[in-house]
Amino acid sequence: MGDPRRRAVCPSLVLAPEHADRLGRLAGIAFWGYGVYDERQRELVAITVEPAAEAASRTSPGIACGEGELLVSITNGSGKTVTGVRFNVGAYREGRSTNIAKGNWFDDDHIINPRGTVSACWKAPGLTRDPEGDRVVWKASIIKLEFAE
């Protein structure tokens, strides 16, 4: 049966304490490595937004957004399949840093294969104030990503 002080976790599995410590460190490194890999995959997914008037069919041939819509393109540069994206859209007066968009987050459930892109028209959020004749610059950022398992 062996020395009971040398048992760890499972009674049928005997590990010397120095081996249990190594196993724990190895598991910690593997967990950290997966976290770094997952973060890198998230960094490889990008989003762009353009007002309908500027987008025309320059960036996405065949897609014509209507007045008051934005062309949103999500590019999956990762090696994993994207199954969901929550993103926000900001509106900024040119040369300003205050976001004047309201109700500015959206959920997209398009499935985007690795190295793929999905483009779609989304209704532009309203503005909290008049841009006072300044050009409005639209920006998008990803809040949350979901990958297929």
Per-residue pLDDT of the chain (149 residues; tens, 9 = 90+): 555 555 555 555 555 666 566 655 655 555 445 555 567 788 999 999 998 766 654 555 677 888 899 999 999 999 999 999 999 999 999 999 999 999 879 999 999 999 999 999 999 999 999 998 899 999 999 999 999 98
Residue 72: C-alpha distances to residues 12, 36, 57, 86, 97 (Å): 56, 28, 13, 12, 21
Q: What is the pLDDT of residue 96?
A: 94
E strands of the chain, at which residues? 45-51, 69-76, 82-93, 105-108, 117-123, 136-147
Cα separation, 45 vs 76, whole angstroms:
5
Which 3 state secondary structure label does DSSP give 7? strand
